[in-house]
Structure 1
Amino acid sequence: MRKFRVAVVGAGPAGIYAADILTKEHEGASVDVIERLPAPYGLVRYGVAPDHPRIKEIVKALRRVLDRDSIRFLGNVEYGRDVTLDELKRHYDAVIFSTGAMSDRSLDIPGVDLEGSHGAADFVSWYAGHPDVPSEWPLDARSVAVIGAGNVALDVARMLAKPADEQLTTEIADNVYQGLKANQATDVHVFARRGPAEIKFSPMELRELSHSPSIDVLVEEEGFQIDDDGQSRISSNKGVRLVVDTLLKYLEAEPTGAQHRIHIHMCHAPVEILGEDGKVVAIRTEKTEMDGTGNARGTGEFVDTPVQAVYRAIGYRSSSLADVPFDDVRGVVRHDGGRVVDEDGIQLTGLYVTGWVKRGPVGLIGHTKSDASETVRHLLSDLEKTPAPEVGDPDGIVELLLGRGVGVTTWEGWERLDAHEVSLGEASGRERIKVVPREEMLRISQGSDHQGPDHQGSDSRG
């Protein structure tokens, strides 16, 4: 059986699942998972709110994969900067890109560039302790608008409304706790352009809004529209029914007088962010009505809601990759069933893609697994006609990176950082406290008493 090496670029769930399936399907496969951050797990570590520990249970399964002998983790290595596509092709039989989606989709309305207008992805990265965003976040707005009708919008609204001290049971980093402690927000307005039967919240996320005794959830009666199409959705889909039932409970509940309020406005489409002196002062929305097909249309009636900050949670978008064909309209790598193709649809030998950068930022973990299975199946079927790499030594790529002064971190280095974060948490009666600065992550991962590929001093990005 032919032995072969594959580079997986991106250590989130998509990349790790691809490595898992590949090494299970073919005993001759070995995989290097290359990640630009010093830590693995992608959006599971850096895209999930800290008060969602049960969602992070998936880390246990991902950890078991990366702990496998046939899989090697190479962290703090940025594709396109520290290593090129040509270099990967010289060292591996195939490359799978699984870089996910970390940027915000654009919202083309006036005022989007005002001070106080934020992309939700940046805010999520901040409160999740991402090392590449500023350590401080402006939280001086008393009234805030969140645009979006998905779970990220709910996460953002909850993090803005929930008192910081209620987060002290989580892995929240100290800089995030201090920032939330100074948060001035009392009212968070969530705007969805469609009605309750079309909204994309998950039932569990929606119910969790009311779990804090410091938050009243107020659903606005105006805009609570259910047409015949919406009623059909409720009747045929349990998830939709649960969401509508929860919204109705919020609508009918009496306010408790809690110090923070989350207002849910349905059938409101954002049309402009209003400003004075370059700063956000209000959001203008157009009332909509359902058109019988699951879509909303404008009514020509506009409402201005005074706010001092706006968060745009309308979806994520993947970024293009150096030397890899990219569809800028769809925001994905060009591919055919996971095989990377050029603009003419011709397959590029040895290049594959999986996850959100393949299909767009939609779907749950189950979709990610099936995505990876399709890509790996095609990779294996192409193997006989795929030429062997020029460099046969598996350590050749590490030597190349170390020769450039790249502070590569390994799985052993991550285990040191992981243990350090857990020990920080134990001292405070918590599961862990996340380390945020890249320089500190590298110092802990590389360990002054450790010699090896992950002991290379600080990195210029630290």
Structure 2
Amino acid sequence: MYILPRLCSRHLRQVLQKSCSRNLSTSSQNVPHVCIVGSGPAGFYTAQQILKGHPAAKVDILEKLPVPFGLVRFGVAPDHPEVKNVIHTFTNTARNKRCTFLGNVDVGKDVSIEELQGAYTAVVLAYGADDDRTLAIKGEKNPNVISARSFVGWFNGLPQDRDLNVDLDTENVVILGHGNVALDVARILLTPISVLKKTDISQHALDALTRSRVRKVYLVGRRGPLQVAFTIKEIREMIKLPNCRPVIHKDDVKDLNKVIEDLPRPRKRLTDLLYRTSMEPSDTDTQLWAQASKEWELRFRLTPAEVIETEGKVTGVKFYINELQGDDLVNKIAKVTSETEDIQCGLVFRSIGYKSIPIDPCLPFDERKGIILNKKGRVENRPGLYCSGWVSTGPVGVILNTMTWGFETGKVILKDIEDGAISSEGKHGNQIIKDKMLSKGKQLVTFSEWDKIDLEEMKRGAEVGKPREKIIQISEMLKVASS
């Protein structure tokens, strides 16, 4: 009668020990630690999904710069402050007690991806697209042929672009591209200074634009009005720019009313706006445009052949005239002909797309597409390594698309954790980063230290009537952060 109780007691102790062991393992040893490289929209939305979907997971967000928010801070035009409202959401994510922001960490240099994988359950590459697609034409390397990406970085205070030489001592500018970034560049060039000086545009850019002689901007694309990549909001802003006249040639749009009803709704509204602006402008618009001192012009079916130079200076662009081929109304293919046309200008902006670069030689990378090879966010042949945003898809879509992709990548990681496809055993998170940075004598920037930079920028902005004046020197950012 004593044996049974002893067996039950022993069994109970074993059960309790196993239970305690499991609970201890879950709470201290096997807590998933996820590292996200890049603090732009893709990074933050991925982090948001992981923190929401797992009650114990910890997320570290690494950023090459001392400041967060990536493309939202440095890619959104200063006259579009409403787009930057997502920063409030990202800030809430960063303040989550299970989330840690670590700025001034250059992954691939300060710490390798392989080292990160040794310390984290999952590593997510979300560092965006930091390079440009090029034209490979004669004259493209002239200093007055500038990438739109660099120009946007210049007026937004991106440290690497602060010293960009933008020569605005010319009346005519050509922008190669029909996307939203091309329209951003045109709009900043043509917007009255009285409007720009109330935004968070960087002071060096505002000073240069104040001295600008630019009066006309050509927006040039390879295909026709049914193939433009910009959206209706951006083109409507261009049409309504103060003291600025739109030029949309009637021959380019006169037949669009015959096909408008056959187009998808977003394309229909955009095409209708182009048609009405050219063919049926209101009396009020006509009067305003007649008095305007600046103008922009849409040009279609032109492929750049050569940047024309005279004594080392840009004087124009030579274009091949294209024919559009294909039965699909929207998805036409541009085929160059032997006919050419020259457009005179003193400055050229290349806005034909971005591409990502491999930050580590171990990455499986498609050089042509400029993306990390992946399947639904899982990097090929690298368990535990993921990618999100433009580095996985290419530079397409807007922030809403990036949010969707970030959430999907987060769900993929959560599923892999749940299925046991990736292990958290022995993965202790960011201590390796702290040790590496200490050994290199580099300063880490936490989110609370970013708050100091944020407050200082808003203080400087208030002094000159702007929402903020961005600090553009990394050394100064670090000094403020450590103050």
When normalised by structure 2's length, the TM-score is 0.86
Alignment of 1:339 with 2:339, yes or no, is: no
State the partner residue of 1:320.
358
State the partner residue of 1:453.
none
**CA deviation after TM superposition for structure 1 residue 138, in Å:** 2.3
**CA deviation after TM superposition for structure 1 residue 112, in Å:** 1.4
Contact 1:50 1:128 in 2 (8 A): yes
**Aligned runs of 1:340-379 on 2, under 5 Å?**
340-341=379-380, 347-379=381-413
Q: Note closer, same or farther for the CA distance 1:374–1:287 as it changes in structure 2 (3 Å cut).
A: same
Alignment of 1:69 with 2:97, yes or no, is: yes
| 1:253-304 CA-partner distances (Å, limit 9, x unpaired) | 4332322211111222222211122321111122334333332333432211
Alignment of 1:411 with 2:447, yes or no, is: yes
Alignment of 1:277 with 2:315, yes or no, is: no
Q: Which amino acid aligns with 1:151?
A: N
| 1:174-199 CA-partner distances (Å, limit 9, x unpaired) | 11111111222111111112222221
State the partner residue of 1:92.
120
How far apart in 1 are the matches of 2:411 and 2:440? Answer: 35
Larger radius of gyration: 2
State the partner residue of 2:293.
259
State the partner residue of 1:124.
152
**CA deviation after TM superposition for structure 1 residue 385, in Å:** 3.8
Structure ranking higher on relative contact order (CA contacts 8 Å, 6+ apart): 2
Q: Note closer, same or farther for the CA distance 1:102–1:372 as it changes in structure 2 (3 Å cut).
A: same
Supply the RMSD in Å over aligned alpha carbons. Answer: 2.0
Q: Note closer, same or farther for the CA distance 1:246–1:172 as it changes in structure 2 (3 Å cut).
A: same
State the partner residue of 1:458.
none
Q: Which amino acid aligns with 2:265?
A: K
| 1:124-183 CA-partner distances (Å, limit 9, x unpaired) | 110111011133532222211001011011011111222333201101121111111122
Contact 2:60 2:430 in 1 (8 A): no
Q: Which amino acid aligns with 1:392?
A: H
| 1:296-325 CA-partner distances (Å, limit 9, x unpaired) | 333432211111111111111111121211
Match of 1:250 among 267, 277, 288: 277
Which is further off, 186-195 or 8-17? 186-195
Q: Note closer, same or farther for the CA distance 1:68–1:385 as it changes in structure 2 (3 Å cut).
A: same
How far apart in 1 are the matches of 2:143 and 2:254? Answer: 34
Q: Which amino acid aligns with 2:428?
A: G
Q: Note closer, same or farther for the CA distance 1:225–1:350 as it changes in structure 2 (3 Å cut).
A: farther
State the partner residue of 2:4.
none
How far apart in 1 are the matches of 2:128 and 2:312? Answer: 33
Aligned residues: 440
When normalised by structure 1's length, the TM-score is 0.90
State the partner residue of 1:386.
422
| 1:181-229 CA-partner distances (Å, limit 9, x unpaired) | 12221111111122222211111100111333222111123433757xx
How far apart in 2 are the matches of 1:121 and 1:16? Answer: 22
Contact 2:34 2:429 in 1 (8 A): no
How far apart in 2 are the matches of 1:355 and 1:258? Answer: 41
State the partner residue of 1:179.
208
| 1:232-267 CA-partner distances (Å, limit 9, x unpaired) | 565332222222232234324433232221111122
Contact 2:33 2:57 in 1 (8 A): yes
State the partner residue of 1:114.
142
Q: Which amino acid aligns with 1:32?
A: D
How far apart in 1 are the matches of 2:258 and 2:132? Answer: 32
**Aligned runs of 1:11-160 on 2, under 5 Å?**
11-136=39-164, 137-160=166-189
